[in-house]
Amino acid sequence: MLLKTRIDEHTAKGNGNSGTEEYSGKDFSSDQDVRWCPGCGDYTILKQVQNAMPEIGVDKKDIVFISGIGCAARFPYYMDTFGMHSIHGRAPAIATGLKTTRPELSVWIITGDGDSLSIGANHFVQLLRRNVNVNLLLFNNQIYGLTKGQYSPTAPEGSVSKSTPYGSIDHPFNPLSLSLGADGTFIARAMDRDPRHLQKMLQRTHAHQGASMLEIYQNCIVFNDGAFELFTDKKSRPREAIYLEQDEPLIFGKENDRGIWLDGLTPRIVNLEEDGVSKDDLWIHDEQDKTKAYLLSRFFDQPRAGNDHMPRPFGVLYAEERPTYDDGVNAQMDEVIERKGEGNLDELLRGPETWRVD
Amino acid sequence: MDAKDIVREKVTIRFAGDSGDGMQLTGSLFTNTTALEGNDLRTLPEFPAEIRAPAGTVPGVSSFQLNFGSTEIMTPGDNCDVLVAMNAAALKANLGMLKKDGVIIANTSGFDKKNLNLAKYGEENNPLEDGTLSDHQVIEVDITKLTKESLKDSDLGYKEIERSKNMFVLGLLYWMYNRPLDSTIEFLEKKFKNKPDIAEGNIKVLKEGFNYGETTEVFTDKYTVRKAPIAKGEYRSVTGNKATVLGLVSAARQSNLPLFFGSYPITPASDILHELSQLKNFGVMTFQAEDEIAAVSSAIGAAFGGSLGITSSSGPGIALKGEAIGLATMLELPLVILNVQRAGPSTGMPTKNEQADLMQALYGRNGESPIAVIAPGTPSDCFDAAFEACRIALEHMVPVILLSDGYLANGTEPWRFPQQEDLKKITVNFEPVRTGEETDKFLPYKRDERYVRSWAIPGTAGIEHRVGGLEKQDLTGDVSYDPENHQKMTKLRQAKVDAIAEFIPEQKVDSGKETGDALVIGWGSTYGSIRTAVRELIEEGMDISHAHLKYLNPFPKNLGELMEGFEHVLVPEVNNGQLVKLLRDKYFIPAKGINKITGRPFFVDELKQNIHDALSSTNS
Ligand SMILES: Cc1ncc(C[n+]2csc(CCOP(=O)(O)OP(=O)(O)O)c2C)c(N)n1
Ligand code: SF4
Ligand SMILES: [Mg+2]
């Protein structure tokens, strides 16, 4: 903002530098004991996020983690950055206020599937459509962990949980389709059990200018163990998961022997060996193609035995450059200041019309 | 025969017509002229609840009341002396607001069969003819026809001519009250600078309205209201919502902070959002959030980052914000919450007035969650109250609720506006940067002697820390479930709010003596009615005083002592008894409530009667 305030004075006063460049992931771990259940997927995500921090080139003092409520939402306590553990579902709204007023900060939202897709679903979609330049990490474990095991809005139909002893009736959200529907500008998926890929996705999430939505499959070992096992297990992963790479054909399978071919708008699985299809005929991944991104987000079959269902995509489904909300707001403020000049309080207090009493 | 000129001390005029009849403008122009003539005044508009209620129907009526006089005027007036009724519906909706033997100026074209049917009188029952108005003095003028007549040679279209009829009424009233036309003419010339024929037409009709009074013998009386003894100085007219906006922007200036305003539209608070959104060049950022929860949450996010974070709503929205206000209480961040109250519960009566959210402000959150509460007493007092709300929030790191209401929000009064140099400075100190050479550790929940923690904003090296809604350990801010610590922190948060009492003015008696028989204590928008009623009672020989609370949490230090100086304490409120409960609870006094819950403010006469009744029942 053109108008200088106490915040600018304060942050310009040689607030220097926490020397982040020389840091390693360890330097981002706070002095608090981590309290997740042993074996919880949150641990590996925490580690990868800590490792990502020295890489992103932002000074520690300028990094803020904001979370809602849930197991995942404890996350900010474990990061030695600025942080706020707020209230259930509202982190996107809090982050919007912070990022809009302090666009120079790197703001990260940590949220669970319940936090962002039930109680906070409104804020989640609004954040995406506005395209606030923040990074949202959605820890999806298909369960309410903190409240001890009720089904969540991402739990598949028929899920048996504490609150659905006979199986859940309601149809789940597909978070990536939802995000696309909300006109999100960066939509990606990763999993806790593939830290290298997760690390790559975290870097991409940060690099994107705009609201970056990274869904991370996270295993809740206590209440929903193995929910994503077919994707995370090294044996089944090649069959059930497909990793997306920009400009590369969609290939998966143990021997990289299977591909996806687009028949009009219908994706079909082909066997590279048997069906006589060459790699060049396959669907080539293009992050900027929204229609294809939508088709990819619909690869949402329940993993199951057999070969007739689509693998679940991991990687960046969609990335688009669109002006960010925080930039827009600040640019508009500057434009008005340039046009009208900095406001004169005495003139404002006088108003358009006055009279004297003598 | 010339009309008799009668001198009046106070006059209340009510302009009523269809939403399209321009009654708000007519009222405002009469008000401006009246202010320039040196009268004291108050106004209150009343808009239809529906946006486009069918023309000619009762729900479509819009009205504007002005009370002016040669003495102090503190309310928009009770019942009116003059009712302008542009059509049958306007009469029907407002007749109850007219004094017995009051004057009705009726536009007879508005009482044709069609209008009588629309107003649900039925075409056979014209109130102008059937004797229902025999208690009043009815002046029938065919305003529509006279306006058309006046503009018959102009090039204006049917619509524009139709729209000019409010100028005829205005001219007529200017004649009746001996007011000059110049300021209105000047206004019209300016407003229609690019449409000179409209300006000309309006001015012509205005003058003909005036001349009509002068030349016809319909009117037997005209009135003079002399100048009021008003403090010298420069004045402007201001509504409560506008004054609130100015108070907020001034506070941002005086603290040199950016102002972030997160809000979701709701009657009668929306104008604050509209006004602030125009002030970007004052460093004001407005955010129209997806709901009230996001609105308050965004303001908390901005406050975490070092901005003056403000959110606004009315009762239903404040209910939604409750959890987040609790978060701000726990985080100990500055936050200003504006509640422009309306009649509840639930959706209640959005366009009607009530001050029933005091308990919500004080207690409407889970857990022990003390925050400061402050309430303006008049439209212009919204400026001071809004400024104070920001000052307290910023200097004490605490959420503050400002309780305005629809009556203040839309009411106007003359305001001797301040200059920036008259305003207090607001002290804000951000926690400084740490180099690593310090011997002590940064403690985010360390407090000063006022129990206030420091504002540690992101972007400051060496003080990276985490805050949250979970109970935190004293000093370190780490999560803590320690029983003793929770008790300590609960007491500390309370002590911090209580300590604000040291930084606000002591309670003064507004009218009457410092001790005596009866003390009337009010808060918020009842100020004008109570003050007028008590002053009249004093004049009538009663031993009675009035004190008006602006600071509702904490109360001023001397409030208990002040009340002890009186035999009786009466508490009039436009609710079912809220402040009265707080006073009884805190000070163990047998305070007595006087309550009105009709969606309308107290009338002075009714309040005087209620005070008499309350005292006689106490005495017996
Ligand atoms: C307003 C409110 N309602 C309910 C709760 C209880 N609650 C806390 S966390 C949670 C669900 C969390 O699920 P999820 O977001 O998936 O996080 P996880 O624990 O699985 O990481 C609920 C219902 C609360 N803290 N606040
Ligand atoms: S309950 Fe589940 S999600 Fe929560 S910490 Fe334990 S394993 Fe992790
Ligand atoms: Mg979950």
The shortest CB-CB distance from A61 to any of B257, B306, B464 is to: B464
Q: What is the per-residue pLDDT for A273? A: 83
CA A25 to each of CA A56, A197, A341, B383, B489: distance values in angstroms, whole numbers, following the listed order:
11, 17, 46, 50, 34
CA A238 – CA A235 distance, rounded (Å): 7
Collapse the DSSP code of A169 into the 3-class scheme (helix H, G, I; strand E, B; otherwise coil) and give the result.
coil
Report the 10 Å Cβ neighbour count for A162: 13
Average pLDDT over residues A209-213: 98
Q: Per-residue pLDDT tens for B403-451? A: 999 999 999 999 999 999 999 999 998 999 998 899 999 999 999 999 9
Q: What is the per-residue pLDDT for B564? A: 98
pLDDT at residue B184 greater than cutoff 90: yes
Q: What is the per-residue pLDDT for B48? A: 80
pLDDT band at residue A37 under the 50/70/90 scheme: very high
Collapse the DSSP code of B68 into the 3-class scheme (helix H, G, I; strand E, B; otherwise coil) and give the result.
strand
Average pLDDT over residues B601-612: 96
Point out the ligand 2 atom lying closest to the alpha carbon of residue A139: 3
Q: Containing H/E element for B377?
A: none
| Residue entry with tokens 């005027």 | B73
Does B281 contact A14 at a Cβ distance shorter than 8 Å? no
Please provide the DSSP assignment of A65-98 as one string.
EEE-SSSGGGGGGGBSSEEEE-STT-HHHHHHHH
Q: Per-residue pLDDT tens for B324-346? A: 999 999 999 999 999 999 999 99
pLDDT at residue B235 greater than cutoff 70: yes
Q: What are phi and psi of B15, to 5 degrees?
A: -95, 125
Which of A34, A37, A144, A228, when mutated, tests ligand 2's pocket best, judged by the most ligand atoms within 8 Å of its CB?
A37
pLDDT band at residue B49 under the 50/70/90 scheme: confident
- CB proximity A232 to B under 8 Å: no
Q: What is the per-residue pLDDT for A314? A: 98
Token pair recorded at residue A48: 């990868």
Strand-pair partners of B40: B69
Q: Per-residue pLDDT tens for A67-92? A: 999 999 999 999 999 999 999 999 99
Structural domains in chain B, CATH included, are: 4-224 (3.40.920.10), 236-422 (3.40.50.970), 429-504 (no CATH), 516-619 (3.40.50.920)
Taking CA–CA distances from B477, the nearest residue in chain A reads: A77
Strands (E), B142-247: 221-224, 233-239
CA B130 to each of CA A159, A218, B93, B543: distance values in angstroms, whole numbers, following the listed order:
74, 80, 18, 47
Query: Higher confidence at residue B486 or residue B4?
Result: B486
Q: Which ligand is nearest to the CA of A222?
A: 2
Q: What are phi and psi of A114, to 5 degrees?
A: -75, -45
CA A75 – CA B128 distance, rounded (Å): 74
Please choose, from the candidates B73, B36, B169, B69, the residue with its C-alpha nearest in 3D space to the C-alpha of residue B412.
B73
CA A83 – CA A308 distance, rounded (Å): 45
CA B403 – CA B523 distance, rounded (Å): 10
**Do β-strands B335-341 and B284-288 pair in parallel, antiparallel, or remain unpaired?**
unpaired
CA B30 – CA B176 distance, rounded (Å): 12
Q: What is the per-residue pLDDT for A16? A: 55
pLDDT band at residue A12 under the 50/70/90 scheme: confident
pLDDT band at residue B221 under the 50/70/90 scheme: confident
The 3-class secondary structure across A299-338, one letter per residue, is: CCCCCCCCCCCCCEEEEEEEECCCCCHHHHHHHHHHHHHH
Could you tell me the pTM of the whole model? 0.96
Q: Per-residue pLDDT tens for B567-604? A: 999 999 999 999 999 999 999 999 999 999 999 999 99
Q: What is the per-residue pLDDT for A304? A: 67
Average pLDDT over residues A196-210: 98
Q: Per-residue pLDDT tens for A233-282? A: 999 999 999 999 999 999 999 999 999 999 999 999 999 988 788 888 99
Report the 10 Å Cβ neighbour count for A26: 11
Average pLDDT over residues B509-527: 98
Average pLDDT over residues A6-20: 71
The shortest CB-CB distance from A1 to any of B283, B466, B470 is to: B283
Collapse the DSSP code of B455 into the 3-class scheme (helix H, G, I; strand E, B; otherwise coil) and give the result.
strand
Average pLDDT, chain A: 94
CA B252 – CA B270 distance, rounded (Å): 20
CA A73 – CA A89 distance, rounded (Å): 10
What percent helix, strand, coil does chain B show, rounded to 5?
Answer: 40, 25, 35
Q: What is the per-residue pLDDT for A99? A: 98
Does B459 contact A102 at a Cβ distance shorter than 8 Å? yes
Q: Is the CB of A40 under 6 A from ligand 2?
A: yes
Q: What is the per-residue pLDDT for A13? A: 62
Average pLDDT over residues B193-199: 94
CB B411 within 8 A of CB B244: no
The DSSP secondary-structure symbol of A283 reads P
Average pLDDT over residues A175-182: 98
Token pair recorded at residue B86: 């542009």
Taking CA–CA distances from B292, the nearest residue in chain A reads: A93
Strands (E), B282-433: 284-288, 308-313, 335-341, 372-374, 399-405, 412-415
Please provide the DSSP assignment of B138-152 as one string.
EEEE-HHHHHHHHTT
Determine the topology of domain A22-227+323-350 in CATH: Rossmann fold (3.40.50)
User: Closest Cα of chain B to A57: distance in Å?
Assistant: 15
What percent helix, strand, coil does chain A show, rounded to 5?
Answer: 35, 20, 45
CB B336 within 8 A of CB B400: yes
**CA-derived radius of gyration, chain B:** 27
Q: Per-residue pLDDT tens for B347-363? A: 999 989 999 999 999 99
Peptide bond into B76 cis (omega under 30): no
Peptide bond into B54 cis (omega under 30): no
Q: What is the per-residue pLDDT for A11? A: 84
pLDDT band at residue A1 under the 50/70/90 scheme: confident
**Over pLDDT 70: what percentage of chain B?**
99
Find chain A residues with C-beta within 8 A of B420's C-beta.
345-346, 349
Point out the ligand 2 atom lying closest to the alpha carbon of residue A72: 3
Q: Per-residue pLDDT tens for A318-355? A: 999 999 999 999 999 999 999 999 999 999 999 998 99
Q: Which of residues 17-56 of A touch B (CB under 8 A)?
A: 17-18, 30, 32
The shortest CB-CB distance from A349 to any of B260, B289, B418 is to: B418
CA B414 – CA B231 distance, rounded (Å): 11
CA B223 – CA A273 distance, rounded (Å): 103
Find chain A residues with C-beta within 8 A of B253's C-beta.
345
CA B409 – CA A162 distance, rounded (Å): 50
pLDDT band at residue A2 under the 50/70/90 scheme: confident
CB B209 within 8 A of CB B172: yes
pLDDT at residue B263 greater than cutoff 60: yes
Strand-pair partners of B84: B15, B105
Protein residue whose Cα sits closest to atom 1 of ligand 2 = A145
Q: What is the per-residue pLDDT for B47? A: 84
CA A208 – CA B99 distance, rounded (Å): 69
pLDDT at residue A308 greater than cutoff 80: no
CB B318 within 8 A of CB B357: yes
Strand-pair partners of A164: A161
Q: What is the per-residue pLDDT for B510? A: 98
Q: What is the per-residue pLDDT for A306? A: 66
CA A85 – CA A133 distance, rounded (Å): 20
Find chain A residues with C-beta within 8 A of B282's C-beta.
342-343, 345, 348
CA A245 – CA B404 distance, rounded (Å): 57
